[in-house]
Structure 1
């Protein structure tokens, strides 16, 4: 009699899905605009070539999760029981890892001289064995309470050979197992090939095949200081590309800041027309939008414009139209940028 045999009959029957079964969408925890980029029980990927500012983009995602709110175009909504974030960096020195940590805190509006309540940041470059790195990550995921988001910045360093199909399949299998068993979301970072826009190696192919969302960060061809974020693979409806530039704060920490003037060249000929609204209508809507605060950060301003234009002039705009509306207001000098990432209603504008 064979001992310790696997009961494939039981496993197979548990895997069956009946037409009468009831399933719900996994909890949505990360969005870009109205698009879903992350749910619990799945993983996503950020890709880009060297110096495309991938880590800056991921920092914005983590900052949004840290405050459970909006940073750049990302919005996080993790359940209270899933607020802990684990960040693993496999490439950078402790010094540069600390800069990333400070940048995340700065983006989240948190002090950089106090340990954050919900974020644990690990540097794994000094661990020589990729398998040990992987086991450390596994241990932390399974032994840290309330984990909701895990970032692996440099997933290539969890394997010996990036072109080994067996290693790649096993690593992606681990990601699927961890996310499923622990009901978390994992965001990974992987470089693109130098000569094309394909993710590197067999691991890139496997990640593309199994990821919920693949984001690509590229340098803007028209403005080298600007990085553009776009969905290359996404299960939900795609979001409109957005762009950011780096800004240095008062304490000399570089953070990504949304560039509201960016517009994808494919859409430049399809601008939203605002001629139907009069000067008086715009002014009343802007007075309503800025009624609670004279200075508004980007995320709050977008929501304030949405509410104000719906209430005052009866125009209900989606996320894309709201961004186009803000570009229009900036170009007309109805709204002006004041300081670092804040916007002011220019009451003396000339329409």
Structure 2
């Protein structure tokens, strides 16, 4: 009898809850997290190096300095989706995709050439449109026209993923906190309302030792991204690294474009990679302690995240690796950097 009374009580409470949320003053209850519901595990669109990455209905970033291959990476992803086959280290995790591309930067001729490169790599005809891939030439449009066209297209076409090449062209001033915040909230609303992944391409600052994405838009966008990829170029190869992720970071990989303008898979040499990572962490730590000789864990985490242009979660992993390899001294609640000559054991970082 007691159990029956409990069920009756719960049923009455749920009925009251549903009745209340129709009233304006109780609408906040629409946003209460229901802990009785099962957890929805993320659905990933790709695996890179065997690691699932780029989940559905999330914000993704591609950053890099000018002419480093940011756009070519997105066309490589598009080609893999259209082919439906493994290409190099990239494996599509869906049988079929609907892809929209919005380009605000290139000329029509350049955009066509890039689209045709992706279609050719996917072994598809390059002289006609594919229903699964719709590219948009947006350079002549105003900011409001671009945003309206993007939202209308997403609403009507219902894509799995969209690429915005030149996201900073969707606002007047990428150093404006208000404009940047409004744009990011708009992007987040699109992912939530239409269930699509949005990949934003944004330039990094020009200084070689500054990996931050440009302006307040770049800073705020990084805080909201699920995955962020950095594209660089060395010896004719485009090197892609997942610099920040809320999930497991996928391994680095490389590709190139040959003399015929076609994509080519490249092998990324592992030699000196561990040592390079050691030096990168040490370099970042030195910048953190440049103006302060000691910091608390919280202060160091925030400083490392800012200097390396990564999330605080990624910064915490780097600090842990540094502690494990004696790159940091800890006295009470304070951390200081330990300068030392690199040894063979450093390469285990």
CA distance in 2, matches of 1:9, 1:137: 34
Q: Which residue of 1 aligns with 2:87?
A: 71
Contact in 2 for aligned 1:242/1:263 (Cα 8 Å)? no
Unmatched runs of 5 consecutive residues or more in structure 2: 1-21, 277-349
From 256, 260, 263, the equivalent of 2:270 is: 263
1:9-58 per-residue CA deviation (whole Å, 9 max, x = no partner) reads 22x21221243321211322123223332122112011000110111111
**In the alignment, what sits opposite 2:285?**
none
Change (3 A) 1:143 1:240: same
| Structure 1: runs of 5 or more not aligned | 270-351
User: What is residue 105 of structure 1 aligned with on the other side?
Assistant: 119
Aligned residues: 253
Measure, in 2, the Cα distance between the counterparts of 1:264 and 1:134: 45
Q: How does 1:163-202 map to 2 (within 5 A)?
A: 163-195=175-207, 196-202=210-216
TM (normalized to structure 2)? 0.68
Can you list the C-alpha shifts for 1:274-324, whole angstroms capped at 9, x where unaligned? xxxxxxxxxxxxxxxxxxxxxxxxxxxxxxxxxxxxxxxxxxxxxxxxxxx
The alpha carbon displacement at 1:60 in A equals: 0.7
- Offset from partner CA, 1:62-105 (integer Å, 9 cap, x none): 1112233323422223365xx22111110011111100110110
C-alpha deviations, 1:204-243, integer Å up to 9, x for none? Answer: 11211011100000123xx2x1221101111221122111
Distance 1:264 1:48 in 2: 23
The answer to whether structure 1 residue 7 and structure 2 residue 20 are counterparts is no
Residue 251 of structure 2 corresponds to 240
Tell me the alpha carbon deviations over residues 133-156 of structure 1, each in whole angstroms, 9 at most, x when there is no partner.
Answer: 111111111112x41111101101
Aligned with 1:205 (options 219, 224, 227): 219
2:253–2:268: 8 Å Cα contact kept in structure 1? no
Point out the more displaced range, 114-123 or 96-105: 114-123
| Residue number in structure 1 paired with 2:151 | 138
> Which aligned pairs between 1:1-351 and structure 2 lie closer than 5 A?
7=24, 9-10=26-27, 12-78=28-94, 80=96, 83-127=97-141, 129-144=142-157, 146-195=158-207, 196-220=210-234, 223=235, 225-248=236-259, 252=260, 254-263=261-270, 265-267=272-274
Q: How far has the Cα of 1:6 moved from its partner?
A: 8.9
Quick check: which has more Rg, 1 or 2?
Answer: 2
For the 8 Å contact 1:71–1:108, the answer to whether it is kept is: no
Structure 1 partner of 2:339 = none
Identify the structure with the greater helix proportion.
Answer: 2
Contact conserved, 1:71 with 1:107, CA < 8 A, in 2? no
Further displaced range: 32-41 or 192-201: 32-41
CA RMSD of aligned residues (A): 2.1
* Cα 1:67/1:8, change in 2 over 3 Å: farther
Alpha-carbon deviation of 1:109? 1.4
The change in CA–CA distance for 1:8 and 1:59 in structure 2 (over 3 A counts) is: farther
Check the 8 A contact 1:228/1:242 in 2, yes or no: yes
Q: Which moved more, 1:70-79 or 1:101-110?
A: 70-79
The CA deviation at 1:167 is 0.9
Q: Distance in 2 between matches of 1:191 and 1:72?
A: 26
